[in-house]
Homo-oligomer: A and B are copies of this chain.
Amino acid sequence: MAETSPDLSLPELSFADAADGVIAMAHYAGAKGLVPATSGNFSVRMTATHAAVTATGANKAALVRDEVIEAEIAGAKHPRASAEAPLHLVRYVHAPEIGAISHIHSLAATLLSRRHEAEGVLRLEGWELLKAFSGIHTHETVMEVPIVPNDQDTDRLAMLVERRLRESPPGFGYLIAGHGLYVWGATYQDVLRHMEAFEFLLTAQLYEEGRP
C-alpha cells in the first residue's frame, strides 16, 4: 500500500475554480456511464472550512454552475445539499490532504461491494494499474478497499465510514455495499485519474473472479 503523506497546505480555491473541478468530474463520470439516473455527487475543497458540492437532484452528466453549491464543511446543512453531502464533508474534516471527492455508481463497484460485503474489504493486488494512484510506485501492492453496509441515514453512515477508515491503511476510496464507490485525491485532476483507475481495476477484478 502506498503511503499518502497528508498535505496540510493545499492551496485555497475560489468557488468558481472549485466549481469548475466539480463540473469536470461530473461530466467525465456522466460520459462514462458512472452516474446513471441522476445518481452520484462530487465536491472540491475550497478552504479549511468550505467546499463546492453538487446540489441535490442535478443530472450530473449535464451539470451546470447553478447546480453547484458552496457548503460549510463543519457548519449548518446547506438547504440544497444532497442527502449524501455529509459523506463528502466529514472526509474533508478528517483528512486534510484531500482536495476533491467523487461518488459514483459504476456497475463493477456495485456488484463487487455486494459480493464482498461480508468480508468488509475488497483486495486489489498485483495489477500494474495500481500505479495510477498517487504515491503507488509498484504493482507489488495490496490495496485494501474497505466495504461498509449501505444505510439511508447518511450522518450515521459517515461516522461508521470514518471509524473504518481510521483502522485501515491510508487509501483512495471505499465501497458502500450495493451502492457505489467514494474516491478522493489531492486535486480534482487526481480524482479523475483515480476514478478511471478504480473503474479499470474493479472491472478487471470482476472478470478475474468470474461469476457466482
Contacts and interface: CB of A to CB of B under 8 A. Distances in A.
A129 B114 contact: no
Interface stretch (A11-19, A33-41, A89-97): A33-41
Contacts of A119: none
A107 interface: yes
**Interface size class of chain A, counting residues whose CB lies under 8 Å from the partner chain:** 35 or more
A152 B128 CA distance: 9
A128 B37 CA distance: 11
Interface in A177-212: 178-180, 193-194, 196-197, 199-200, 203-204, 206-212
Interface string A164-179: 0000000000001011
Contacts of A194: 37
B39 A129 contact: yes
A197 B128 contact: no
Contacts of A179: 127-128, 139
Count identical subunits in the complex: 4
A38 B211 contact: no
A77 interface: no
Nearest to A193: B37
Nearest to A130: B178
A200 B111 contact: no
A36 B207 contact: no
